[in-house]
Each structure stands twice: as C-alpha cells, then as structure tokens.
C-alpha cells in the first residue's frame, strides 16, 4: 500500500453547542442533506483513496452509524472504517491529535504503507488530494502541510506558517496571539488546514518520541510540527490555492472551519447563494452521502386555490413540502413541512422540522425534528427573543436544540431526552445558566429522534 489515510473525527466541537450536545462535530448535518464528515471523505474517495480509517471518540454513535450505512466501499483492499478509541496505550482516551494517531500505530504498521495522510474531518471544502501527495513526493518531504491564506485578524484560531521561497516551512506557531503575516502582505497570514502527509517512518519515530515526553500536549500543531521545524526536518507547505478540481473552470479557494454557530450558519448560507463559492453541482466531483427513500420536494397551494408560495435563493431537499409559504434565503433539509402562509427568512432548518401555518421566522437555526406552532413569531423582536430563547448568539442567530417545540406564546419546550443532555453538557449548561427566562421539558411522549414533519 502506498498511502494510508487517517481522518481525525473524535472532536467534540464545543463551540457548536447545542448542535454538538449529542453528536460529534463531524456528524453534524450540513447543507441540507450531508454531514460535515462527508466533505473530507468525498475529497479522498474522489481523489482515488480507498484505505481510510476514521478515528472517533466523543459522542460517536451517530457518526459510526452514518459511516457504516453510507460509506461502505469494502472490497479487495478497500475500506472506509470507523475506529473507536480503544485505550491501546493505557487507561486514558485520546489526549491530543498526535496521541490519537499514536494509539493507532498498529494500523499503520499493519498496512506496510510508505506514507500516512492525516486529515481533519470537520471542515467544508473541496480538495484534489493527489496533487498534494505529488507535491510531497516531489519535494522529498518528511511532512507536508496543506496551507490556506486567511485575514490576519482571524489567524489566531489556526497554526500560523512561515515559509521560504521554496515552500519549506521555517516557522510554525499554534494559535499565536500576534500572528506573523505573509511578507509583503501585512493583512494576510498563511495557516495550517490540519491536513498532513507524513513519511511513515518519520511519523512513527516522531510519535514515539512525543509519547515519551511528559511535558508534551501530544498534539500535532502544538508539539510535533514545531519540533520538526526546529530540528530542521524537511517540512513543506502545500498551497491550497494551487489545487485544481476536475470539472471546475476556475481555481477553488473555498475552505471553511465551521467551528462556531455563526460560521456554521454563514457556510450554509454560502451554499444557497446565487453564485456560491462552493459548487455542489460539479458532477465530476460529487459530495457523497446517504441515499434516502424520500419523494421529491413538493410546492403546493393551500387547498389548490390559495395564495402562491414564494421561494428565493433557497435550497430545499427531498421529501420537503412547502404549502403556500415564502422562503427567502433558506437552507432546509429533507422531510420538512412548511404550512400555509408561513414565512421564513435567512434560516437553516435541518431535517424533520415542522413550521406551522402563519408563523414567521427570521435568522433561526433549527436542529433536526423541531416544531413551530401556528402563528409563532421568532426573530423579529430582540427583547422577546432574549426572554424566550436561551441559545442565541451575539449576532442574533436563534438556535433550537434537536426536537424542540416552540409554542405560539410562552416558554419553549425541550424534548425529554435533550433536556437531560443539555444540562449534562458543559457548554450548553453555560448557555442555560446565563439565560434569565424560562424553558420547560415537554410533557409529550415524542422523542427528539422522531420527525416533526408529520406531527
């Protein structure tokens, strides 16, 4: 085997709470019908990689189920296989990204591969991965890091890279307070995308040495990469801007770290824009996901003679019914129902949701299987919203946890199972503790896993 791939998919994604209260960040739905992990996997499979381990840890059940049901490429020497944390190196879970690979070095050794690709599983982008590996081989690199340009004010969220004229990395700082800009471009920094190609022997030796270091955080960005650069290893940056996707006429430079509610919302909005930076319609580079047995989306008039609906700059997925409703700038998942005269503006609505007749919603993010009662108004009065909705970002995006019911008036109702999980999750509990209003747990028997579309 030339190359083995390991995808890091064990992250909690705390800043995406409450979407990650009950699922790992790579399992969070995105773009109406996908999950975040589908984008990294599609890039790899489209590029010809068929030996992929997905390393899981936090809240992995829905992620593993998704992988087993929808990413079965097993054949002679081919697999996309989830690998739960197993404590192979002691009585502890993964303590960092490097430790996650270290605890699974047995898989690397069993593969007898020349190189190991270590990729993140929680970003939205398209990437022809073979081009990066060809660059890595051409440079005879020990390690190659995919690099992307970002505004300097955003660079502190990433590992910041300094390179020489040949692309060799001469400096690396993980999430610095004062990031160094690209020479001649004081407002721009070069940062790590969290995607790496290692020579196998180099990776094994570095991980073994890191494990023996009791002062290490056992993280690629904090420890492994800075140490390799300091030691003068052949570490190179692959410029993501040079990557070319088959079927696209223009270079592809779209890459989003959807690590917060605001960035997640914005990236979904990107997809439904008139000229999206991310092209879902390139048939030579499909984004693969579950094949669902839902009928086509349907747009009808109420009673056959009522007012017409209106759909502007929106994406509507399979099985959804829009009845005499107006959707403006909306990303809606599969199996949703918009009842007569409802109006939704700038919203991300995941699958199985039910929007009642005559309701008005604006700047709302609804997790799966939520319901909004007829006549409800959400997102139009800041003072009312602050008193009713505990999960509301500073920019005004209102988040409804999975299975939540919004009555026309009064406190919102959490599903029974989610009420418990929200209180047990540290980040979600902090939101709830700051909230001065009232929420209740529903007395209805419906579980958060049950679709609200037919309710």
446 — pLDDT class (breaks 50, 70, 90): low
Residue 175 CB partners (closer than 8 Å, separation 6+): 156, 157, 158, 159, 221
Q: Are 254 and 277 in contact (CB under 8 A)?
A: yes
Per-residue pLDDT, averaged over 433-438, amounts to: 90
Q: How far apart, in whole angstroms, are the C-alpha atoms of residue 395 and residue 119?
A: 31
- Long-range residue pairs from 136-141, CB within 8 A, at least 24 positions apart, any chain: 136/197, 136/236, 136/238, 139/166, 139/167, 139/168, 139/234, 139/236, 140/234, 141/197, 141/199, 141/234, 141/235, 141/236
**Helices and strands, counts by H and E, the chain:** 11, 28
pLDDT score of 308 more than 90: no
- Dump pLDDT digits (tens) for 4-30: 999 999 888 899 999 999 999 999 999
Helices 37-46/61-70 angle, 10° precision: 30
Q: Are 443 and 392 in contact (CB under 8 A)?
A: no
**Superfamily holding 3-271:** Spore Coat Polysaccharide Biosynthesis Protein SpsA; Chain A (3.90.550.10)
Q: How far apart, in whole angstroms, are the C-alpha atoms of residue 39 and residue 187?
A: 29
- Dump pLDDT digits (tens) for 195-254: 999 999 999 999 999 999 999 999 999 999 999 999 999 999 999 999 999 998 887 789
pLDDT in the model for residue 274: 83
Count of alpha carbons within 13 angstroms of residue 163, beta-carbon side: 23
Positive or negative: CA dihedral 440, 441, 445, 450: positive
Positive or negative: CA dihedral 276, 282, 288, 290: positive
Residue 215 CB partners (closer than 8 Å, separation 6+): none
Instruction: Identify the CA nearest to 111 among candidates 137, 86, 79.
Output: 79
Q: How far apart, in whole angstroms, are the C-alpha atoms of residue 350 and residue 264?
A: 13
Element (H or E) spanning 268, and its range?
helix 261-271
pLDDT in the model for residue 455: 58
Average pLDDT, the chain: 93
CATH architecture of 298-441: 3 Solenoid (2.160)
To the nearest 10°, report the CA torsion of 126, 128, 129, 131.
Answer: -140
The CA distances from residue 170 to 48, 162, 221, 362, 451, in Å, are 31, 6, 14, 47, 53
- Dump pLDDT digits (tens) for 166-206: 999 999 999 999 999 998 899 999 999 999 999 999 999 99
Count of alpha carbons within 13 angstroms of residue 264, beta-carbon side: 31
pLDDT in the model for residue 148: 94
CA 21 to chain centre: 14
Burial label for 135, CB within 10 Å (0-12, 13-18, 19+), is buried
Residue 219 CB partners (closer than 8 Å, separation 6+): 96, 97, 98, 99, 174
pLDDT in the model for residue 277: 85
Which of 189-193, 291-295, 303-307, 326-330 has the lowest average pLDDT? 303-307
Q: How far apart, in whole angstroms, are the C-alpha atoms of residue 56 and residue 58?
A: 7
CA 115 to chain centre: 26
Q: Are 141 and 234 in contact (CB under 8 A)?
A: yes
pLDDT score of 283 more than 90: yes
Burial label for 117, CB within 10 Å (0-12, 13-18, 19+), is buried
Residue 110 CB partners (closer than 8 Å, separation 6+): none
pLDDT score of 304 more than 70: no
Other beta carbons within 10 angstroms of residue 50's beta carbon come to 16
Q: How far apart, in whole angstroms, are the C-alpha atoms of residue 356 and residue 277?
A: 33
- Dump pLDDT digits (tens) for 101-158: 999 999 999 999 999 999 999 999 999 999 999 999 999 999 999 999 999 999 999 9
- Dump pLDDT digits (tens) for 79-106: 999 999 887 777 778 889 999 999 999 9
Residue 249 CB partners (closer than 8 Å, separation 6+): none
Q: Facing residues of 274 across strands? A: none
Report the phi/psi class of residue 343: left, alpha or beta, with left for phi > 0 and alpha for psi in -120 to 50: beta
pLDDT in the model for residue 273: 84
pLDDT in the model for residue 447: 66
pLDDT in the model for residue 305: 59
**Which residue ranges make up each domain of the chain?**
3-271, 298-441
């Amino acid at each position: 085997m030339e190359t083995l791939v390991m995808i890091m998919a064990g992250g909690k994604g705390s800043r995406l709470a409450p979407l990650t209260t009950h699922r790992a960040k790579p399992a969070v739905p995105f773009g109406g019908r996908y999950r975040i992990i589908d984008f990294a996997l599609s890039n790899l499979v489209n590029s010809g990689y068929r030996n992929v381990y997905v390393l899981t840890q936090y809240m992995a059940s829905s992620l593993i189920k998704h992988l087993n049901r929808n990413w079965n490429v097993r054949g002679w020497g081919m697999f996309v296989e989830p690998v739960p944390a197993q404590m192979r190196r002691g009585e502890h879970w993964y303590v960092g990204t490097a430790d996650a690979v270290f605890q699974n070095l047995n898989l690397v050794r069993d593969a007898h591969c020349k190189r190991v690709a270590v990729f993140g599983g929680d970003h939205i982008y398209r990437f022809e991965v073979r081009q990066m590996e060809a660059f890595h081989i051409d440079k005879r690199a020990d390690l190659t890091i995919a690099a992307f340009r970002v505004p300097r004010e955003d660079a502190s969220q990433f590992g910041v890279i300094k390179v020489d004229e040949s692309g060799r990395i001469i400096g690396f700082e993980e999430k610095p307070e004062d990031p160094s800009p690209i020479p001649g471009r004081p407002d721009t920094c070069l940062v790590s995308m969290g995607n790496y190609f290692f020579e196998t022997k180099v990776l094994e030796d570095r991980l073994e040495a890191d494990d023996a270091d009791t002062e290490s955080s056992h993280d690629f960005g904090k420890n492994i990469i800075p140490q390799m650069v300091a030691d003068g290893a052949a570490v190179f940056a692959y410029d993501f801007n040079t990557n070319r996707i088959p079927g696209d006429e223009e270079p592809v430079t779209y890459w989003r770290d959807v690590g917060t509610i605001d960035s997640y919302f914005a990236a979904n909005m990107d997809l439904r824009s008139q000229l999206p930076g991310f092209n879902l319609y390139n048939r030579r580079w499909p984004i693969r996901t579950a094949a669902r047995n839902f009928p086509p989306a349907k747009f009808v008039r109420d009673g056959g003679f009522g007012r017409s609906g209106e759909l502007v700059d929106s994406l509507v997925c399979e099985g959804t019914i829009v009845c005499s409703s107006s959707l403006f700038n909306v990303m809606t998942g599969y199996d949703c129902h918009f009842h007569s005269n409802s109006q939704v503006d700038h919203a991300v609505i995941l699958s199985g949701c039910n929007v009642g007749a005559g309701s008005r919603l604006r700047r709302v993010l609804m997790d799966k299987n939520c319901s909004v009662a007829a006549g409800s108004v959400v997102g139009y009065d800041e003072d009312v919203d602050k008193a009713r909705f505990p999960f509301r970002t500073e920019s005004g995006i209102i988040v409804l946890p999975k299975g939540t019911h919004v009555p026309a008036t009064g406190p919102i109702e959490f599903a029974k199972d989610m009420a418990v999980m929200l209180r047990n999750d540290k980040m979600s509990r902090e939101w709830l503790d700051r909230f001065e209003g009232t929420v209740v747990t529903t007395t209805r028997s419906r579980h958060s896993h049950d679709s609200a579309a037919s309710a």
